[in-house]
Amino acid sequence: MFDVLIIGGGVSGVSCALVLGSAKNKLFAQDKKIGIIAHQKTSSLQDAIFNNAYGIPAGKLGSELLTESVEQLHNLYPHVAQIEQEKVLKIEGEFPDFTVVTNKNSYQTKNIIVGIGSSNMFAIEGLMHFIEPHKKAIAEKQRIQLMNDDHKVADGIYVIGTLAGHRSQLAIAAGSGAAVATDILTLWNNGISSQAHDSIRK
């Protein structure tokens, strides 16, 4: 049983996993099981190049960033389970007992975070009734989002990145994933606001 399972290995999903993973030394997070289904084939980053993203050298390819980000997650926080080459087909159950069904396996989790982009090809059974037109995308692109209130779709279900209704800017997607991670950490910390920071100070 995962405490949280992230669906999507793009900017928002990996950013969320990195923040959750970095809290491993906090007492309230030490025993939490975190997973990410890091399916990246359809990520919009595959065709991207970055010249205006904070902290990223100009000319960085999105495809390189995808590979490097999951390597960073693995190297820094190996306790975060990375599930590769699986596509989510269906979500069943309700908080705190969900079943996430992929094309190869099924997983039990207490919380789900969905960050797989805003394509109208979205087809996860169990979430289809939350779909609405994307409020910030050009209408002709036929983008969608999941209905949410500050990233929360329903009890135990969160949405991040462009699928949450944000614009397709790397910094926005990363911030969205990090925001939900800190919301989850706060829940684990009995409602006391919490976030994970690294510091060079001893």
Which residues lie below 8 Å from residue 127, measured CB to CB, with a gap of 6+?
91, 114, 146, 153, 157
Q: What pLDDT shows up at residue 41?
A: 66
Per-position b or e across 12-25, b if 16+ CB within 10 A of its CB:
bbbbbbbbbbbbbe
Mean pLDDT value of segment 106-112 = 98
Q: What is the pLDDT of residues 79-94, one digit of tens each?
A: 999 999 999 999 999 9
**How confident is the model at residue 40, as a pLDDT?**
59
Whole-angstrom distance, CA of residue 133 vs CA of residue 135: 6
- At 27-79, the pLDDT tens digits run 999 999 999 998 756 677 888 899 999 989 999 998 899 899 999 999 999 99
Dig out the tokens for 34 from the structure.
Answer: 């975190």
Please give the angle made by the CA atoms of 172, 92 and 156, to the nearest 5 degrees. 45
The confidence score (pLDDT) of residue 182 equals 97
> Would you say 160 and 148 are in contact if contact means Cβ atoms under 8 Å apart?
no
Is 121's pLDDT higher than 90?
no
pLDDT digits (tens, 9 = 90+) for 147-193: 999 999 999 999 999 999 999 899 999 999 999 999 999 999 999 99
Residue 202 confidence (pLDDT): 59
Tokens describing residue 164: 């949450």
Instruction: Tell me the C-alpha distance between 36 and 178, whole Å.
Output: 14
DSSP state letters, 99-144: EEEESS-EEEES-EEE-S---TT---BTTGGGEEE-SSS-GGG--E
Buried b (16+ CB within 10 A) or exposed e, 37-62: bbbbeebbbeebebeebeeeeeebeb
Which ranges in the chain belong to alpha helices (H)? Answer: 11-22, 62-76, 170-188
pLDDT of residue 128: 97
pLDDT classification of 141: cutoffs 50, 70, 90: confident
Judge whether 9 and 38 are in contact, CB under 8 Å. Answer: yes
The SS3 of residue 146 is: strand
State the average pLDDT over residues 10-16: 95
Cβ(107)–Cβ(92) below 8 Å: no
